[in-house]
Amino acid sequence: MFSKEWFIYVFGRWILLSGIAGALLQVLLRQQMGIPDFPAFLLNQLLLACVFWYVDKFIFRRHLGKVKELFRFPRIKGQFDPAVEFNKITEEYNQLADDYKKSPDDPKAWLNRFLDLMHSVEMMDRVLRDRGIDVDKEYNRIVEDNRKRGLYE
């Protein structure tokens, strides 16, 4: 919890940016504009929230973006295990391959099958995570290996 990133966020974003900006905005609203304390405080918080919504999105883009990108589809109801998901991935791949071979230049003909395959792979990911498998650790290892091999821009 107390990583370098945490200290930068707490002291940089909260204390320096929010604290100082909030205090200055409060003084501006109260003394310069004559707004009473409590309404000035509420307006202060609203204005800061509007600004820091974007600041926090920028700061956490690396963390939150992964979650959003990771699960595109809603969770399917039921109990699942890796064997069932493996069979589903195989089935979806075979259907995609058949449709693709018929019309490789027409994505409309096989796009649905492609997304079904993505959904089944995502479900395998969820099953593994539900079982305590550290999928992210393996993902990061693969990315680092590929980066070392010069595969990324």
pLDDT grade for 145, boundaries at 50, 70 and 90: very high
Q: What is the mean pLDDT of residues 83-102?
A: 96
Q: Are residues 32 and 50 in the same domain?
A: yes
69 vs 113, which has greater pLDDT? 113
Instruction: Out of 67, 89, 106, pick the residue that ends a domain.
Output: 67
- Is 85 found in the same domain as 60? no
- Domain that includes residue 32, residue range: 4-67
Last-in-domain residue among 50, 67, 84: 67
3-state secondary structure the chain: CCCHHHHHHHHHHHHHHHHHHHHHHHHHHHHHCCCCHHHHHHHHHHHHHHHHHHHHHHHCHHHHHHHHHHCCCCCCCCCCCHHHHHHHHHHHHHHHHHHHHHCCCCHHHHHHHHHHHHHHHHHHHHHHHHCCCCHHHHHHHHHHHHHHCCCCC
Domain boundary among 18, 36, 67: 67
The answer to whether residues 79 and 55 belong to one domain is: no
Q: Would you say residue 153 lies in a domain? A: no
Whether residues 126 and 106 share a domain: the answer is yes
